[in-house]
């Protein structure tokens, strides 16, 4: 991500960089070009600060505990809708302006929430699978609670179901190879970041 533009002089550039045909403006007056340049720089700086606040404050709050969530398309959709609403508020545009989501993301330059939560979950899964001690996180992961007949209907989504789709049923053994796990992680993240 690019950093915020540096602070500039009130006119947008120093007096030394003034062209030969430009007339220095009096301290209280600016011509239209200088005013437009100054407003553009202020907007860039303000947008950069909004992006930083979103990425460093809002996104971590929205994704707190995402490592333990069972991902569904509905959950990802709700999170994306909330993020897009916040991005539109950052830019000061509404749905009636009919600006495409890709254009809004290009302007705001914020991190995609689906990418962030899928990366967090994949990293956490690898961390838990590589543990050798008898901690609760590993025990709960291997626990099979149901004995006997289950209820009618589709079983509820388990935490490890989407991991098994990408890495197979032996995903816990595959997590031991960090390089292989990292390359599989890219496929896992891609699964949740593609719109569809």
Give phi and psi for 59, each to the nearest 5. Answer: -60, -45
Distance between start and end Cα atoms, the chain: 26
CA–CA dist 189, 121 (Å, integer): 9
Q: Which residues of 172-190 are buried (b: 16+ CB within 10 A; e: fewer)?
A: bebbeeeeebeebbeebbe
Give a yes or no: residue 107 inside a domain. Answer: yes
Say if residues 105 and 55 touch (Cβ distance below 8 Å): no
Q: Rounded to two decimals, what is the model's pTM?
A: 0.74
CA–CA dist 8, 38 (Å, integer): 9
Tens of pLDDT, residue by residue over 89-121, are 999 899 999 999 999 999 999 999 999 999 999
Give a yes or no: residue 20 inside a domain. Answer: no
Give a yes or no: residue 74 inside a domain. Answer: yes
**pLDDT over threshold 80, residue 62:** yes
Give a yes or no: residue 153 inside a domain. Answer: no
Domain count, the chain: 1
Give a yes or no: residue 27 inside a domain. Answer: no
Tens of pLDDT, residue by residue over 163-196, are 999 899 899 889 989 999 999 999 999 988 886 5
* Domain that includes residue 74, residue range: 35-142+160-193
* Element housing 120 (H / E): helix 113-130
Whole-number average pLDDT of the chain: 83
Give a yes or no: residue 149 inside a domain. Answer: no
Q: How many CA atoms lie within 13 A of 186 on its CB side?
A: 5
**pLDDT over threshold 90, residue 88:** yes
Give a yes or no: residue 64 inside a domain. Answer: yes
How many helices and strands (H and E) does the chain possess? Answer: 9, 0
Give a yes or no: residue 147 inside a domain. Answer: no
């Amino acid at each position: 991500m690019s950093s915020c533009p540096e602070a500039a002089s009130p006119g947008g550039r120093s007096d030394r960089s003034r062209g030969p045909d430009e007339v220095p403006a009096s301290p209280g007056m600016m011509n239209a070009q200088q005013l437009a340049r100054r407003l553009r720089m202020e907007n860039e700086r303000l947008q950069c600060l909004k992006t930083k606040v979103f990425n460093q404050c809002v996104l971590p709050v929205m994704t707190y505990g995402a490592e333990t969530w069972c991902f569904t398309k509905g959950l990802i959709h709700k999170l994306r809708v909330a993020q897009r609403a916040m991005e539109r508020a950052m830019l000061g545009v509404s749905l009636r302006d009919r600006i495409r989501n890709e254009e809004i993301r290009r302007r705001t330059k914020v991190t995609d929430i689906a990418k962030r939560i899928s990366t967090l979950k994949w990293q956490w899964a690898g961390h838990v699978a590589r543990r050798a001690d008898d901690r609760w996180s590993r025990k709960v992961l291997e626990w099979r609670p149901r004995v006997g007949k289950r209820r009618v209907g589709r079983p509820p989504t388990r935490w490890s179901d989407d991991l098994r789709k990408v890495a197979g049923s032996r995903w816990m053994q595959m997590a031991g190879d960090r390089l292989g796990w990292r390359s599989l992680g890219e496929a896992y993240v891609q699964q949740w970041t593609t719109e569809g």
